[in-house]
């Protein structure tokens, strides 16, 4: 039975090493330790023909100085640990668990840091909410989940990370070709951005994937959505919380954020539709879950299929999605996502991520209110 089918039946039912070490005898003569192998010299991409070919292509299409681009890519270093971080954990996939995932982000350290961040940047958050229609708690949730309000912005040289993922993305990844092309596009955007701003491409630091600043913007997102929100004539997503706040809000507005719309609604399953007969109930739930997080159904159609949006959700005018959040071997959690829920997943394609952002923002708002 598929995982969705198992989860469907759960909904139907809910509706009715030790390490040994041998001590060396001190009386025995000690064998000399073998000499440590010399550390491998770092790999610079100047020696790679594929890297130099891409450098020439970027320079030509972007009208950049050819030697500058070749030097930038050529001096980038392979980061051996980065390709490994792109692969699933060894030993098979771990069962998804919303409660465990939530606990990683909605916890006292982030909540306290979020309250401080909100207090220190209340004016910028209020202005972003007014101008872009994105609630302060959503912006606070994003920056808290991404970097704990600037505490963890990443220490990798962005140039090295993007070069590594452009030329040495692991072939074992199921979407290796697509992801390699994505990172080559990000490398191109990054070099173009560094040229326009007159920045040394080896200065910016970020995540192992090349994301930068308090909101962890990839270069393409920086180019499209980053704004000088503090009005000092430059965009700084590392040291200017005001720029970061305005940029996150602008990002969501650019991904069709709907002012005043909730992110999600609670759902009530109709026993009359989901219990008898069981096969039809299963088919109805599968139909609801088929579009995944893409809002597809009207509130009325969802109710017809046995999943009724509660509260204001019953009168919701736009498309909706039934979102399943697995809880390991326990009954999944279900919510009904709106177009704004989908907008949050444009930041990170994960329903768990969107729920964590919303939950952290709400908890910070409650703590600040106290």
Q: 10-residue block means of pLDDT along the chain (370 residues)?
A: 44 36 37 50 90 98 98 98 88 80 97 98 98 98 98 98 98 94 98 98 98 98 98 98 98 97 94 55 72 90 92 96 93 96 96 97 93
The Cα–Cα gap between 251 and 273 comes to 40
pLDDT tens-place string over residues 233-283: 999 999 999 999 999 999 999 999 999 999 999 999 986 665 445 555 566
Structure-token pair, residue 78: 């392979």
pTM to 2 decimals? 0.85
Active-site residues: which are they? Answer: 146
Residues contacting residue 105 through CB under 8 Å, at least 6 positions apart: 144, 145, 356, 359, 360
pLDDT at 226: 98
pLDDT at 92: 56
pLDDT at 33: 52
Residues contacting residue 128 through CB under 8 Å, at least 6 positions apart: 134, 136, 139, 229, 245, 246, 248, 249
Residues contacting residue 242 through CB under 8 Å, at least 6 positions apart: 121, 124, 229, 230
Annotate 258-320 with three-state secondary structure: CCCCCCEECEEECHHHHCCCHHHHHHHHHHHHCCCCCCCECHHHHHHCCEEECHHHHHCCCCE
pLDDT at 289: 80
Give the CATH fold of the 45-87+157-239 domain: Helicase, Ruva Protein; domain 3 (1.10.8)
pLDDT at 241: 98
Rg of the chain taking only CA atoms, in angstroms: 25
pLDDT at 105: 98
């Amino acid at each position: 039975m598929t995982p969705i089918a198992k989860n469907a039946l759960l909904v139907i039912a809910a509706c009715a090493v030790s390490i040994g070490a041998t001590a060396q005898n001190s009386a025995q003569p000690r064998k000399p330790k073998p000499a440590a192998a010399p550390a491998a010299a770092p790999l610079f991409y100047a020696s790679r023909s594929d890297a130099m070919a891409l450098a020439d292509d970027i320079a030509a299409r972007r009208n950049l100085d050819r030697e500058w681009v070749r030097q930038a890519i050529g001096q980038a270093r392979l980061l051996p640990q980065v390709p490994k971080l792109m692969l699933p954990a060894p030993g098979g996939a771990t069962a998804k668990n919303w409660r465990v995932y939530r606990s990683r982000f909605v916890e006292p350290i982030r909540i306290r840091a979020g309250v401080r961040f909100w207090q220190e940047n209340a004016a910028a958050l209020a202005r972003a909410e007014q101008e872009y229609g994105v609630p302060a708690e959503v912006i606070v949730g994003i920056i808290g989940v991404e970097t704990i309000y600037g505490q963890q912005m990443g220490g990798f040289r962005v140039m090295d990370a993007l070069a590594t993922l452009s030329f040495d993305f692991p072939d074992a990844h199921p979407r290796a070709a697509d992801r390699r092309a994505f990172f080559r596009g990000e490398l191109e955007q990054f070099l173009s951005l560094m040229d326009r701003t007159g920045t040394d491409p080896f200065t910016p630091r970020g995540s192992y994937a090349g994301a930068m600043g308090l909101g962890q913007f990839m270069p393409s997102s920086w180019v499209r959505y980053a704004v000088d929100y503090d009005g000092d004539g430059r965009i700084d997503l590392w040291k200017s919380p005001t720029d970061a706040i305005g940029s996150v809000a602008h990002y969501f507005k650019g991904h069709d954020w709907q002012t005043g719309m909730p992110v999600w609604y609670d759902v009530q399953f109709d026993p009359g539709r989901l219990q008898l007969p069981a096969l039809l109930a299963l088919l109805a739930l599968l139909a609801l879950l088929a579009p995944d997080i893409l809002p597809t159904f009207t509130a009325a159609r969802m109710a017809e299929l046995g999943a009724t949006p509660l509260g204001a959700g019953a009168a919701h005018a736009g498309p909706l999605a039934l979102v399943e959040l697995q809880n390991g071997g326990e009954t999944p959690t279900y919510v009904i996502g709106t177009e704004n829920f989908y907008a949050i997943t444009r930041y990170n394609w994960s329903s768990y991520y969107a729920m964590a952002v919303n939950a952290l923002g709400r908890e910070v708002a409650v703590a600040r209110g106290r």
